[in-house]
Homo-oligomer: A and B are copies of this chain.
Amino acid sequence: MSKSQVVELPVLPAESVVPCCPPITSAKLSQADAEKMAVMFKALSDPVRLRLFSKVASHEGGEACVCDIQDVGVSQPTVSHHLKKLREAGLLTSERRGTWVYYQVAPSVVAAMSAMLDLRS
């Protein structure tokens, strides 16, 4: 029984992760905001995760499942692992449909990261 057990990770609603933070030139980051943002940047600090994130973001319909992703040079379980990491950081959301979990970019979270680094603001 335990062998076939599926561990379901909690899915954070995008709203619980952002919005954060003011543009980095306008104010000093608080410790709490810095910890929150560091988790998101850490999720993108791996080349494979960045490429997966880019694949999901640029995929037709703005979503992709593991079944859509073949050519990043790592195994399907590794792809799944990295997609879950991106979801846990709030950068992707996910939805199970039939056999596959489909991942979508969480636009408000990614926009917050972009805005934070937008020096024109």
Interface residues of A (CB under 8 A from B): 24-29, 31, 34-35, 37-38, 41-42, 44-51, 53-55, 57-58, 62, 73, 105, 107, 110-111, 113-120
Contact = CB atoms under 8 A, between A and B. Distances in A.
A47 B34 contact: yes
Given A58-B27, A58-B28, A45 B47 contact: no
B25 A105 contact: yes
Given A31-B47, A47-B31, A24 B117 contact: no
16 contacts: A24-B53, A24-B105, A25-B57, A25-B62, A28-B51, A31-B47, A31-B73, A35-B47, A37-B44, A38-B46, A41-B41, A42-B42, A114-B114, A114-B115, A114-B116, A117-B117
